């Protein structure tokens, strides 16, 4: 891995030796010397003695060597320009040694190294003489990565993103941090956050199989201790129970095998909870599409209870009184497939009260339902390019929860909060 080394250069005895020791310790590809006018000669001498080639070093000279605030601003600009922009070093490949800088230089470059999250900060320690200088031959390097000091700040940022439901951003940031975090406890916490974000991302995609597996993992094995330390066990067990129960109850019988999720109340409430979260993000097109899917699911679930598959209705399973009507709708693939409206129509023909209620609401001249469904059909996520807004979402939601959801989940208002995403407490 290419490395750049930043050295502060003060004045005094053995300055050359300290700078040389740091260069030998790091073996950098590029050296940035931060000097004052008085210390420039030391940097020049080290360049000659170490035979640093042109293009492998840069000597910066700054007059205000005693003003920490001015030094901070200047050092940040120099490091950004010389190392980041001109030579393309990422922060984690830039190392700082401030052994032989003045107190002002050391304080300034220390602050900049932390602010820019550079790879490591080091200094030389050892036995000191009567003047406070390290005695030659007793030197030892002390170094630490700023990232470990900043981990809490990064963690809090990840928690805020997680609690806002921005799981893709959480995963991307973790990938960026992973190579820069070395403390085992911090790495373990990042691993936990990554797996939990993956589980929640799967849940948001209605991928119940992956979500169920993910929540089980963060509640067991090496992740269990992290869940306990963050006080998340109860919240994760709630989420795990929801997604596992939904995935575990799906149609897999040989006579059908349609894969329909059969835990009617939980599936319906989960679709509603997802729709509400998308509406909170002002993604009303997705929210309305989920409400439409909820309406469709209610019809599919009631058809399934009668032994019928919405994607392959067997005419022989229908009463003779309605068979001719539906036979005319069989497609060229010899299968009768019913969408959301046709599903309720078929239910009505079979004497289902929910089907009748839907048709009455849909066909009424003053229908509130039909315009909302038509708005969904003309949205970019369906068949058109007309965006839907908050009014359509709220209107359709009122109808769904007022007239149809109670048929499947009678206590929906009490149970809906169980379908919330887990929340991580801020440190």
Instruction: Note the pLDDT of residue 139.
Output: 62
Task: Check if the beta carbon of residue 372 is closer than 8 Å to that of residue 327.
Answer: no
Residue 163 pLDDT grade (very low, low, confident, very high; cuts 50, 70, 90): very high
Q: How far is CA 138 from CA 22, 97, 126, 133, 290, in A?
A: 14, 17, 5, 11, 70
Instruction: Note the pLDDT of residue 17.
Output: 84
Q: pLDDT tens digits for 108-148?
A: 999 999 889 898 898 776 555 555 555 555 567 677 777 77
Question: How far apart are alpha carbons 331 and 100 in whole angstroms?
Answer: 84
Element (H, E) at 413: helix 412-415
- Shortest CA distance to 410 belongs to which of 248, 241, 268? 268
Residue 87 sits at φ, ψ, to 5 deg, of -115, -5
DSSP E strand boundaries for 42-172: 57-61, 94-97, 120-125, 140-144
Instruction: Note the pLDDT of residue 252.
Output: 79
Question: How far apart are alpha carbons 143 and 124 in whole angstroms?
Answer: 9
For residue 128, the 8-state DSSP code is B
Question: How far apart are alpha carbons 246 and 234 in whole angstroms?
Answer: 19
Question: How far apart are alpha carbons 237 and 337 in whole angstroms?
Answer: 38
Average pLDDT, the chain: 91
- Shortest CA distance to 148 belongs to which of 98, 183, 194, 97? 183
Task: Check if the beta carbon of residue 349 is closer than 8 Å to that of residue 359.
Answer: no
Q: How far is CA 191 from CA 63, 187, 217, 224, 416, in A?
A: 46, 6, 11, 12, 30
Question: How far apart are alpha carbons 286 and 292 in whole angstroms?
Answer: 10
Task: Check if the beta carbon of residue 192 is closer than 8 Å to that of residue 215.
Answer: no
Residue 296 sits at φ, ψ, to 5 deg, of -65, -40
Question: How far apart are alpha carbons 377 and 212 in whole angstroms?
Answer: 32
- Shortest CA distance to 92 belongs to which of 22, 19, 150, 161? 150
Tally of CB atoms within 10 A around 352: 19
For residues 142-161, give the mean pLDDT: 85
Structure tokens at 357: 């209620």
Does the structure show a pLDDT above 60 at 340?
yes
DSSP string, 323-392: HHHHHTT--TTS-B---HHHHHHHHHHTT-HHHHHHHHHHHSTT-SHHHHHHHHHTSTTTTS-----HHH
Instruction: Note the pLDDT of residue 148.
Output: 74
Q: What is the side-by-side order of every strand in the sheet holding 120-125?
A: 57-61, 30-35, 4-9, 94-97, 120-125, 140-144
Structure tokens at 73: 């601003």
Does the structure show a pLDDT above 90 at 177?
no
- Shortest CA distance to 223 belongs to which of 242, 251, 199, 254? 199
Task: Check if the beta carbon of residue 388 is closer than 8 Å to that of residue 288.
Answer: yes
Beta bridge partners of 120: 95
Task: Check if the beta carbon of residue 80 is closer than 8 Å to that of residue 92.
Answer: no
- pTM to 2 decimal places: 0.78
What percent of the chain has pLDDT above 70? 94
Residue 192 sits at φ, ψ, to 5 deg, of -60, -50
Instruction: Note the pLDDT of residue 137.
Output: 57
Question: How far apart are alpha carbons 223 and 163 in whole angstroms?
Answer: 19
- Shortest CA distance to 121 belongs to which of 130, 131, 111? 111
Q: pLDDT tens digits for 239-266?
A: 999 999 999 998 876 566 688 998 999 9
Q: pLDDT tens digits for 46-94?
A: 999 999 999 999 999 998 777 899 999 999 999 999 999 999 999 989 9
Instruction: Note the pLDDT of residue 67.
Output: 87
Long-range (24+ apart) CB contacts under 8 A made by 303-308 are: 303/338, 303/343, 303/346, 303/347, 304/251, 304/258, 304/260, 304/262, 306/350, 306/352, 308/346
User: Domains of the chain (ranges plus CATH)?
Assistant: 4-144 (3.40.50.10770), 151-248 (1.10.3450), 249-427 (no CATH)
Q: pLDDT tens digits for 165-176?
A: 999 999 999 998
Q: Among the residues of 179-312, which ranges form H helices?
A: 184-204, 208-218, 224-229, 233-248, 264-280, 284-305
52 burial class (0-12, 13-18, 19+ CB within 10 angstroms)? middle
Question: How far apart are alpha carbons 387 and 237 in whole angstroms?
Answer: 38
């Amino acid at each position: 891995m290419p490395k750049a080394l930043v050295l502060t250069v003060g004045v005094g005895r053995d300055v050359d030796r300290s700078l040389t020791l740091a260069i030998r310790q790091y073996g950098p590809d590029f050296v940035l010397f931060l000097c004052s006018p008085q210390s420039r000669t030391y940097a020049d001498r080290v360049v000659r003695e170490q035979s640093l080639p042109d293009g492998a070093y840069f000597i910066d000279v700054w007059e205000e060597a005693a003003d920490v605030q001015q030094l901070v601003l200047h050092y940040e600009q120099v490091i950004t320009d010389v190392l980041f922009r001109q030579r393309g070093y990422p922060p984690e490949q830039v190392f700082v040694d401030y052994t032989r800088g003045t107190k002002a230089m050391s304080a300034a470059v220390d602050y900049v190294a932390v602010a820019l999250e550079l790879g490591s900060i080091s200094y030389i320690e050892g036995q000191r003489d009567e003047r406070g200088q390290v005695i030659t031959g007793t030197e030892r390097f002390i170094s630490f990565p700023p990232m470990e000091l900043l981990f809490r700040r990064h963690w809090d940022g990840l928690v805020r993103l997680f609690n806002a439901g921005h799981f893709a951003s959480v995963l991307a940031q973790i990938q960026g941090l992973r190579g820069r975090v070395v403390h085992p406890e911090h790495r373990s916490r990042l691993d936990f956050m990554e797996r939990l974000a993956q589980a929640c991302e799967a849940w948001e995609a209605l991928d119940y199989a992956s979500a169920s597996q993910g929540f089980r993992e963060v509640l067991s094995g090496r992740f269990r201790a992290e869940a306990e330390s963050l006080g998340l066990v109860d919240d994760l067990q709630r989420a795990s129970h929801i997604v596992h129960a939904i995935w575990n109850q799906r149609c897999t019988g040989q006579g059908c095998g349609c894969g329909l999720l059969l835990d009617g109340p939980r599936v319906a409430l989960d679709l509603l909870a997802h729709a509400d979260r998308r509406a909170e993000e002002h993604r009303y097109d997705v929210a309305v599409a989920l409400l439409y899917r909820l309406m469709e699911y209610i019809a599919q679930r009631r058809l399934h209870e009668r032994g019928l598959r919405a994607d392959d209705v067997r005419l022989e399973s229908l009463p003779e009184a309605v068979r001719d009507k539906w036979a005319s709708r069989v497609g060229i693939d010899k299968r009768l497939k019913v969408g959301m409206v046709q599903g309720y129509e078929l239910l009505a023909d079979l004497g289902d009260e929910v089907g009748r209620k839907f048709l009455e609401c849909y066909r009424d001249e003053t229908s509130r339902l039909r315009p909302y469904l038509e708005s969904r059909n003309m949205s970019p996520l369906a068949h058109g390019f007309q965006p839907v807004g908050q009014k359509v979402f709220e209107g359709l939601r009122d109808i769904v929860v007022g007239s149809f959801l109670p048929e499947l989940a009678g206590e929906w208002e009490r149970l809906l909060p169980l379908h919330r995403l887990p929340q991580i407490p801020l440190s």
